[in-house]
Amino acid sequence: MKRLFIKIIRCCLLALGTVVFTSCEKDSNIKQYVYPVPEVSGYSPAEGYVKSRVAILGHNFGERAEAVKVSFGGILADNVLSCNNNCVVVEVPEEAMSGDITLQVWTNSVTVGNYVIWPSPVVSEMETESGSSIVRPGETVTIKGTGFGTAKEDVLVKFGGVNAEVTKWSETEIQTVAPENFPTGEVVIVVNGFEVVAGAALNPFAKGDVTIAYLKNYRQPFKIDPNMTDAQLGTSPGTYLPADWIVNDAARSMQNGGASEKVAGLNNDNLLLQAGWGANNFTNGKLYQTTTLPKGKYRLTVNLKEYGVKTSTLYITVAEGNELPDITDIEDNEQVKGLYLFVGENKISSSVQIEFELTEESTEVALGFVCSMTANGWFRATELRLELL
How far apart CA 369 and CA 326 sit, in angstroms, is: 11
Residue 289 belongs to a domain: yes
- 107 and 138 in a single domain? The answer is no
Residue 3 belongs to a domain: no
- 254 and 347 in a single domain? The answer is yes
Residue 24 belongs to a domain: no
Give the full edge-to-edge strand order of the sheet including 80-84: 39-44, 53-59, 87-91, 80-84
Per-residue pLDDT averaged across 30-37, rounded?
Answer: 72
pLDDT above 60 (res 22): no
- 376 and 311 in a single domain? The answer is yes
Number of domains in the chain: 3
- 44 and 126 in a single domain? The answer is no
Residue 152 belongs to a domain: yes
Q: Rg of the Cα trace of the chain?
A: 37
Calculate the CA dihedral of residues 316, 370, 289, 300 and round it to 10 degrees: 0
Residue 96: CB atoms within 10 Å: 23
Residue 344: pLDDT band with limits 50, 70, 90? confident
**Domain interval for residue 140:** 122-205
CATH of the domain at 356: 2.60.120
Residue 185 belongs to a domain: yes
The amino acid sitting at 369 is F
Residue 25 belongs to a domain: no
- 373 and 272 in a single domain? The answer is yes
Can you give the pLDDT at residue 30? Answer: 58
Identify the domain boundary among 69, 86, 117.
117
- 196 and 278 in a single domain? The answer is no
How far apart CA 343 and CA 249 sit, in angstroms, is: 25
Residue 29: pLDDT band with limits 50, 70, 90? low
pLDDT digits (tens, 9 = 90+) for 299-339: 999 999 999 998 999 999 999 999 999 999 999 999 999 99
- 94 and 132 in a single domain? The answer is no
**CA 108 distance to own-chain centroid:** 45
